[in-house]
A and B are shown apart, each in its own frame.
Chain A
Amino acid sequence: MAKLQQLVAHRLFWPLLALALLLAGNALFNPGFWNVEWREGHLYGNVIDILNRASPLILIALGMTLVIATRGIDVSVGAVVAISAATAALMIGGKLEIHGDVTTYVSRFPMWLAIACALGVALLCGLWNGLLVARVGMQPIIATLILMVAGRGVAQLITNGQIITVYYAPFFVIGNGFLFGLPVAVYIAAIVFIALQLVVTRTALGMFIRAIGINPPAARLAGVRQRWITLWVYAFCGLTAGVAGLIISSNVKSADGNNAGLLMELDAILAVTLGGTLLTGGRFSLAGSLVGALIIQTLTSTIYSIGVPPEINLVVKAAVVFAVMLLQSSEFRRAVRGILWRGPAAPAGGHP
Chain B
Amino acid sequence: MSAGLGASTTEPAASGRTAAAAQAPSGVKARWRGIDPKYVPVTVTVSLFALMGGFGSAFYTGFFSAQVFFNLLIDNAFLCIVAVGMTFVILSGGIDLSVGSVVALTTMVSASLVEHHQWGAATVIPLVLAMGAAFGAAMGFLIERFRLQPFIVTLAGMFMARGLCYLISIDSISITSPFYTAVSQARFALWGQASITVGAILALAVVAVGVYLAHWTQFGRTVYAIGGNEYSAVLMGLPVARTTVLVYMLSGFCSALGGVVFTFYMLSGYGLHAIGMELDAIAAVVIGGTLLSGGVGYVFGTLFGVLILGIIQTLIMFDGSLSSWWTRIVIGGLLFVFCLLQRVFEGRRG
Contacts and interface: CB of A to CB of B under 8 A. Distances in A.
Interface of A: 73, 132, 136-139, 141-143, 145-154, 156-157, 160-161, 257, 266, 269, 273, 279-280, 309, 311-319, 321-322, 325-326, 329-332, 335
A325 B152 contact: yes
A148 B279 contact: yes
Contacts of A156: 323, 325, 328
A14 to B, nearest CB: 18
Contacts of B340: 136
A150 B333 contact: yes
Contacts of B157: 318
Contacts of B160: 314-315, 318-319, 322
B46 to A, nearest CB: 22
Quick one: which of A139, A153, A269, A312 has the most chain B CB within 10 A?
A: A153
Interface stretch (B140-148, B197-205, B296-304): B140-148
A314 B166 contact: yes
B170 interface: yes
A146 B332 contact: yes
A-B residue pairs, 5 tightest by C-beta: A150-B332, A311-B166, A314-B163, A153-B328, A315-B163
Quick one: which of B151, B326, B333, B340 has the most chain A CB within 10 A?
A: B151
B327 interface: yes
A149 B152 contact: no
A312 B160 CA distance: 10
Contact of B279 (A149, A318, A325): A149
A321 B326 CA distance: 34
A311 B165 CA distance: 9
Interface of B: 95, 142, 145-149, 151-153, 155-160, 162-164, 166-167, 170, 271, 276, 279, 282-283, 286, 292-293, 323-329, 331-333, 335-336, 339-340, 343
Contacts of B343: 136-138
A317 B159 contact: yes
A331 B146 contact: yes
Contact of B152 (A143, A151, A269, A315): A269
B289 to A, nearest CB: 15
A312 B163 contact: yes
Nearest to A128: B336
Contact of A146 (B145, B164, B339): B339
A330 B325 CA distance: 44
A303 to B, nearest CB: 11
Contact of A331 (B145, B156, B282): B145
A273 B326 contact: no
B292 A142 contact: yes
Contact of B335 (A139, A149, A269, A316): A149
B329 A321 contact: no
Quick one: which of B95, B152, B293 has the most chain A CB within 10 A?
A: B152
12 contacts: A139-B293, A142-B292, A145-B279, A150-B332, A266-B158, A269-B155, A318-B156, A319-B160, A325-B156, A330-B147, A331-B145, A331-B146
Contacts of B166: 309, 311-312, 314
Contacts of B279: 145, 148-149
Given A149-B328, A161-B323, A161-B325, A332 B146 contact: yes
